[in-house]
Amino acid sequence: MFKAKIFVSLKQSVLDPQGQVITNALHSQGFDSVVETRVSKYFELLINTMDIEKAEEEVKNICDKVLANPNTESWKYELEGVK
């Protein structure tokens, strides 16, 4: 079995209004050194297979079809074996 740790974030070319609101809030709290905040999503999936290639293919399909909007978001993942 594998655990997939998936990170989905807006592409750098896409404005992040939620991140801007957070940056403004941080500035209002005195955290003036923060230049930019980007909001991302994090997912953990358990994949029930012993075949790492199958697990990778499954994760890629899930990211492309369900978790990320390919027009505005990019994703990356890590796989780790679990018992």
How does DSSP assign 46-81, residue by residue? Answer: EE--S-HHHHHHHHHHHIIIII--TTTEEEEEEEEE
The 10s digit of each residue's pLDDT in 7-42 is 999 999 999 999 999 999 999 999 999 999 999 999
Distance CA 80, CA 21 (A): 34
* Assessment of whether the complete model's pTM goes beyond 0.85: yes
Domains by residue range for the chain, with CATH: 2-81 (3.30.1280.10)
Q: DSSP secondary-structure letter at 26?
A: H
The 10s digit of each residue's pLDDT in 36-76 is 999 999 999 999 999 999 999 999 999 999 999 999 999 99
Residue 83: pLDDT over 90? no
3-class secondary structure, 27: helix
Residues with Cβ within 8 Å of residue 77, at least 6 apart in sequence: 4, 5, 6, 7, 59, 63
